[in-house]
Amino acid sequence: MNAILSPDQYVVIGNPIAHSKSPAIHARFASLCKQHMEYQPLLAPLDGFAASVAAFRDGGGKGANVTVPFKLQAYALATQLTARAQLAGAVNTLSFSGNEIFGDNTDGVGLVNDIVRNAGKTLKGKRVLLLGAGGAARGVLLPLLSEQPSELVIANRTLSKAEELLVLAQQHGAGSVKLQACEWAVLSGRFDVIINATSASLSDELPPISATLFDAHTLAYDMMYGAQLTAFLRFAQTQGAQLRDGLGMLVEQAAESFYIWRGVRPDTAMLLLELREALELP
State which residue, 69 or 125, has the beta carbon closest to ligand NDP: 69
Q: CA torsion, points 143, 135, 251, 231, in degrees to nearest 10?
A: -110
Q: Which residues neighbour 254 within 8 Å (Cβ) at sequence distance 6 or greater? A: 22, 25, 26, 29, 65, 106, 110
Q: Which of 101, 166, 195, 250 binds ligand NDP (CB under 6 A)?
A: 250
Using rule CB under 6 A, residue 108 touches ligand NDP: no
Binding segment toward ligand NDP, per CB under 6 A, in 28-36, 169-177, 242-250, 258-266: 242-250
Count of residues engaged in binding ligand NDP, rule: CB under 6 A: 25
Residue 237's Cβ-count burial label (10 Å; 0-12, 13-18, 19+) is middle
90 or 174, CB closer to ligand NDP?
90
* Sheet of 178-182, strands arranged across: 178-182, 151-155, 127-131, 193-196, 219-222, 242-244
Does the footprint of ligand NDP cover residue 207 (CB under 6 A)? yes
Note whether 154 binds ligand NDP by CB under 6 A: no
Nearer to ligand NDP, 81 or 197 (CB): 197
- The residues carrying an active-site annotation are 71
Q: Name the pairing type of β-strands 37-43 and 8-14.
A: parallel
Rg of the chain over Cα atoms, rounded to whole angstroms, equals 19
Continuous segment of H or E residues that includes residue 111: helix 107-113
Distances (CA, A) of 11 to 16, 64, 70, 95, 188: 14, 5, 14, 11, 44
CB of residue 277 to ligand NDP, shortest distance in Å: 18
Residue 96 vs 247, nearer CB to ligand NDP: 247
- Site stretch for ligand NDP (CB under 6 A), options 20-28, 120-128, 191-199, 259-267: 191-199
| 69 upstream amide cis, omega within 30 of 0 | yes
- For residue 117, the tally of other CB atoms under 10 A from its CB is 13
Q: Which of 35, 95, 156, 218 binds ligand NDP (CB under 6 A)?
A: 156
Task: Give the residue nearest to ligand NDP (CB).
Answer: 134
How far is residue 60's CA from residue 22's CA, in Å, rounded to a whole number? 20
Task: Out of 65, 82, 93, 253, name the contact with ligand NDP by CB under 6 A.
Answer: 253
Considering only 202, 270, 273, 278, the residue that binds ligand NDP (CB under 6 A) is: 202
Interface ranges with ligand NDP (CB under 6 A): 107, 132-137, 156-158, 161, 197-202, 205, 207, 223-224, 246, 249-250, 253
